[in-house]
Structure 1
Amino acid sequence: MRTALILVRRELRLEASGREATTTVLPFVLAAVLLAGLAMGPSREVLQSVGPGVTWLVVLFAAPALARSVAAVERDEGAWDTLRGLAPPLALVAGKVGGLWLHYLATWAVAAVLVTIMFPAPMPWPGLVAGPMGTLGLAALTVAFGALLVGARRRTGLLAVLLLPLALPVLLAGVTMGTPGQDHTPWTVLLLAYDLLVLVTVWAVHPALLEE
């Protein structure tokens, strides 16, 4: 656990020094929310109805860009093998999941705030719960595919093709839980089951994820 926390702090320090998410993802989130609002027209009812969907679509489309921190940066700099040798496999995967989760959670929070202000679309409390839950499963799924594709060419495109279809439960549950007047209980259960399934799967196969 201590090693995993150290790796999470390392991921945050790398982001603070490189600011890749700040310079690429945040402008994308702002532009995507703004363009979505303009495309939907001036109708307040329409904007409020599509607000939760816009929030989660922005997060999903930003996911491949943020996934570069899984292993691609270390591989490009020749540090991936060193990192695998220094950290236990489970701690390395847990640290990567934790760091990416915080990145996804920040992306979701920025998108949700922008949607709430620009559309405006008030978010019920289940929508606030869906943010951390949905981004956790998404982060674990991204780490699994990111580690598998670390040596692949055009890995960002491959990651998007693999990630987006399997993230459909996150999209559906997040949109429904963020929409007022819906029955949120079954979708909360679905999102919890999805997180558990993805996390258990990543834990079970984590030795294979770190092999060449």
Structure 2
Amino acid sequence: MPELLYNRKANATLANLAAGGRFPHTLLIEGPEGSGKKTAAWQIAKTLLCEGEPKPCGSCSHCVKADKRVHPDVRYYTVPEGKKEFPVETVREIRQDAYIAPNEGARKIYLIDRAHAMNAAAQNALLKIIEEPPDFVNFLLLCENRSRMLPTILSRAISVELEVPSVEECAAALEALAPGRSAQERQAAAAGAGGNIGRALGLLFTAAVFFL
């Protein structure tokens, strides 16, 4: 499994899962908005599909397509724009699609972003497939707060919680992510975001007035 930046506990959990030789069919990734849940999920998906060594090799066709977000066996779903809830109809589509074999890889991976926005009907519809999924399917559920997930969903998933980096760690990460910004700007953004890298990037690139 790839190491997730500044997430020691999550890395330990993922390493233990990989060492066991069988990755869970359902993994729940919890963290606040901007904590890197989608980045983590794509890294995990890439690793599960990778045909090289060590995994992820970064150079096989599966890794390249996953990095470009165009792999046909990684399906990404989220709440539609303008909506507040994850549609139960979408979950039913996922359930039907899950029984179709992968196109290119050995696995088929569903990234379900904002899973906490599913109402009870949608979560119960999802439960029907995660209870007995096909052997080649993995579900990566991304949520901001697991307390909004049904206990029946949580009981069938392994959960990892993403940590918010320190302000200093966030500023160090921004050096690579926003090299065009000054050290002072990166430090101010890291502090303003409380260490949340995603939010700090938002401050850097959408709130220029922040630095006036």
TM-score if structure 1 supplies the norm length? 0.28
TM-score by length of 2: 0.28
Q: Which has the higher helix share?
A: 1
Q: Which has the higher strand share?
A: 2
